[in-house]
Amino acid sequence: MTSRGVVRSWDLERMHGVIDGDDVPGGCLVRFAAVAVDGFPALNPGEPVDFEWHRLEHPTSGYAYECTRAWPAEQQPATRDRHVFRTGLWTIRADGTADTLTVAAPEQDSPAAAFDGQTTGVVRLWNDDEGWGVIDSPHTPGGCWAHFSHLAVDGFQTLEPGATVIVSWRQVTDQDGYRYCATRVEPHQP
């Protein structure tokens, strides 16, 4: 049966809520799988909705009615494709609202490096145990991430914080939080 109602509550952690309507005295239990919207499957308290429901043979969680499909009032319910599994990625804010995130498809090329360069920099930090560090220079604001495999040094591959080096780098989308990644690091000979 299809009815119109208002969302009484929505528990974001448990991903279920309650819809109140004239046809479902005491409320109708609605789970996220019944939410027929594009994007994040949740309802907002106070939101008018159209919903399909049935009376339960045995009440569940104190509710005699269960929703089988719900969507914003005066809109068409979102249809799902026939695939067994679907996924989504959302960011949820403290106020409970959500935005759908999009991820580049695997067949898309990675963005080309905006600029490659070489400059002189100063080693900010170096972690010998993990074999990486950060080099500061005017051309790599925020720092340039470097891995020991990029060091052009003889023997044990390490850098001393405060040392001046020549760093060849490329701009990247994200390398452990840095926008620049070293491709070669060598000691600076003044």
- Number of structural domains found in the chain: 2
Which residue range(s) make up the domain with 147?
116-187
- Residue 64 shares a structural domain with residue 133: no
Question: Could you read off the pLDDT tens digit of each residue along the chain, which spans 190 residues?
Answer: 899 999 999 988 888 999 999 999 999 999 998 999 887 888 999 999 999 999 999 998 899 999 999 999 999 998 866 555 666 667 777 776 777 666 665 555 554 444 578 899 999 999 988 999 999 999 999 999 999 988 987 776 789 999 999 999 998 888 888 999 999 999 888 7
- Residue 51 shares a structural domain with residue 122: no
Residue 128, domain CATH: 2.40.50.140
What pLDDT was estimated at residue 34? 93
Q: Is 0.75 surpassed by the pTM of this model?
A: no
Separation between Cα atoms, residue 190 and residue 178, nearest integer Å: 28
Cβ proximity of 132 and 145 under 8 Å: yes
Overall residue count recorded for the chain in this entry: 190
Q: Which residues pair with 29 in a beta bridge?
A: 18, 66
What pLDDT was estimated at residue 188? 85
